[in-house]
Amino acid sequence: MCRFLSQTYAVTLIAVHPKEEIKDKIRIIPFKRYHNLKFRILFGWLFMFFKAIKVNARIYHLHDPELIPCGILLRLFGKKVILDIHENIAEDLFDKPWIKRQKLVFNIFAFFEKIACKVFYIILAERSYEKRYLSKSKHISTVQNFCDTNFFEPFEKTEFKDTLNLFYIGIILENRGILQILEAINLLNKEGIRADFHCVGELYSDLDKKIKALEYYKEIENQIHFYGRMPLEEGYKMAKNMDIGLCLIWPMKNSIESYPTKLFEYMRCGLPIITSNFPLYREVIEENNCGVCIDPLDAQKLKKELIAMHMAVEKSELLAKNGKKTVFEKYDWKSQTPILSKVYDVLSR
């Protein structure tokens, strides 16, 4: 989005970043990542406000619901604010194990959400969110969070082998099927098949302890590779050497109704995919023959599908080819840019 907008506007990005720099015509201002959740929620938005107001921008585009108070303060200073909603925030609150007193947090969010819908321009990343927000805001557009095909071109896989390098990138939670993936790796070992799991992202909650407590952890320890949080382009450099992209999200209200952007990114990179068997995901993956959809809680089924892809390299290559073709035809970010342009044109007047 920033790269597209920078073709027309002077864009400043305030985000977690190692240093201040200008990249692809975008000025990047680093923002500290606060790991203490309470501190971040209580004060993070205020620190962001001080950085944001110094930029003196005409339009501020927020991507984090925690920054709604920051946006309200910016509106009081006469600034125009966009809130980009790319998850079912209200439902998602109940699926985050680290959030205590979830009902209270939900009520607080609903209060700020009501204000935001009245004073911000709302952009939705999914059609499914419209049923919640169309009645709440008069200034709203849906800009689906599809794949920037140009950005992912350097990470395209070109060579297919009979190895089993499994790839995941994103937030690392138990409800992302991590334990099921590790169980499947152990089951493969018992059949004399080695698989390596390459995982890019930040470990949340007590998942690290649960992984190390697995009775077979020592047997698979050298097959698990956690790289931590990385810039997107650094993480996806690995895709060229991966064999299968995994996205095994558990059935939750938010996940069932939302596209995981990593599906489109895996497809663009040329990775066959194994993902959850939700109707929305089937529509993308199975109807376009670029992977398989399974019960994300079934490690035995995952093992079976991993073996099937491992034993049929030519089929995996076909799945990957179909995925790339489908992204360009149906899920290319370029199809959404006219909608975003219209929003900015209106707000710039």
Tell me if 109 sits within 8 A of 93, measured CB to CB: yes
Tell me if 242 sits within 8 A of 219, measured CB to CB: no
The pLDDT score that the predictor gives to residue 255 is: 84
The pLDDT score that the predictor gives to residue 298 is: 98
pLDDT at 152 over 90: yes
Residue ranges of domains in the chain, CATH in brackets: 2-146+333-348 (3.40.50.2000), 153-330 (3.40.50.2000)
First to last CA, the chain: 20
Q: What is the mean pLDDT of residues 228-248?
A: 94
Task: List the strands of the sheet with 21-23, edge to edge.
Answer: 11-15, 26-30, 21-23
- pTM here is 0.90
Banded model confidence at residue 37, pLDDT cuts 50, 70, 90? confident
pLDDT at 342 over 80: yes
- Where are any strands of DSSP class E within 165-296? 165-169, 196-200, 224-228, 244-247, 273-276, 291-294
pLDDT above 90 covers what percent of the chain?
77
The pLDDT score that the predictor gives to residue 95 is: 63
Banded model confidence at residue 162, pLDDT cuts 50, 70, 90? confident
* Cα(118)–Cα(83) distance, integer angstroms: 11
The pLDDT score that the predictor gives to residue 97 is: 61
The pLDDT score that the predictor gives to residue 200 is: 97
The pLDDT score that the predictor gives to residue 281 is: 96
DSSP label of 223:
G
Q: What is the mean pLDDT of residues 134-156?
A: 94
What pLDDT, in 10s, does the model give residues 300-337?
999 999 999 999 999 999 999 999 999 999 999 999 99
Instruction: Say which range, 47-56, 97-106, 141-150, has the weakest mean pLDDT.
Output: 97-106
Alpha-carbon Rg for the chain, nearest whole angstrom, is 21
* Cα(286)–Cα(124) distance, integer angstroms: 25
Tell me how far the alpha carbon of residue 270 is from its chain's centroid: 18
- Other Cβ atoms within 10 Å of 218 Cβ, number: 9
Tell me how far the alpha carbon of residue 17 is from its chain's centroid: 18
What pLDDT, in 10s, does the model give residues 250-297?
998 778 888 999 999 999 999 999 999 999 999 999 999 999 999 999
The pLDDT score that the predictor gives to residue 160 is: 86
* Cα(256)–Cα(202) distance, integer angstroms: 23
The average confidence (pLDDT) of the chain is 92
What pLDDT, in 10s, does the model give residues 179-235?
999 999 999 999 999 999 999 998 876 899 999 999 999 999 999 999 998 989 999
Secondary structure (3-state) at 7 = coil
pLDDT at 106 over 90: no
